[in-house]
Amino acid sequence: MSRQLSVILVLIFAVLLPGLNSCVDISCTDETTAFVKTGLYSYSSGAKTVPDSLTLYGEGMAVKVYDKATITQPALIPLKDSADYAKFIIKINGIADTIEFIYWSYPHLISKECGYSMFHTLDTVIFTRNNIDSLARVNPNVTTQNVENLQIYY
């Protein structure tokens, strides 16, 4: 009994030790960017309606988030990680409006492999009414989860 146990112990240890001491590096497969997930709705019917074209870009930015695009809902609006304010120009079917976000940010660990993402909590949303009829803030917590934060009625 004792001899058997001892041999089993030694064998298991000999087999396991090299494996235990080598680390397996797992790559990141999770979503790591938190967007303001914005649903676009028709104010007349109240139904989710994809506009014919959508253009969206940050104030002072040359690069556009959407450029006359036909999007799949929801539209994803990225906030500035380094600030508590961001302003966007949004053109729905060619008519321009602005949306301003006031929020606060905090780091959230996605996983050891993926690292951190900046999550945000929306405080205030200000918008113009050229084409936008109204706007509803349905969830102030901007995370990597697929949950709608904002509803734009146009």
Partner 1 sequence: MSQHRMSRTFRYIISITLLLSSLWQHAGAQDTIMFPMKVRLGFELLGSSKYFYEKERTNLEFTVSADLNERVSAVLSLGKTDHSYKRYRDTSFLLYNYTTNGTYYKAGLDFNLLKADKSQGKYFVGMGIRYGISHFNYEIPEITTENYWGKTVTKVPLTDEWAHYIEFTPGVRAEFIKNISMGWTVSLRKMIDPGTGRHQKPVYLPGFGNGSKSFSPGVNYYIIWSIPFRTKRVIIQPEPEEEEEDMNNPNQNSDMNNNGGFRQQSGASRF
Residue in 14, 18, 72, 106 binding partner 1, rule: CB under 8 A: 106
Q: Considering only the stretches 38-46, 95-103, 108-116, 127-135, report the one whose residues sit in contact with partner 1 under the rule CB under 8 A.
A: 108-116
Size of the site for partner 1 (CB under 8 A): 38
Q: Give the C-alpha separation, 135 to 34, whole Å.
A: 20
Q: Give the C-alpha separation, 53 to 95, whole Å.
A: 10
Instruction: In angstroms, give the least distance from the CB of 37 to partner 1.
Output: 14
Q: Give the C-alpha separation, 36 to 127, whole Å.
A: 15
Q: Which two tokens stand for residue 4?
A: 């058997």
Cα dihedral sign, 142-145-149-154: positive
For position 144 contacting partner 1 by CB under 8 A, the verdict is no
> Would you tell me which residues interact with partner 1 (CB under 8 A)?
1-2, 5-6, 8-9, 12-13, 16-17, 20-21, 28, 32-33, 58, 61, 63, 65, 78-82, 86, 106-109, 111-119
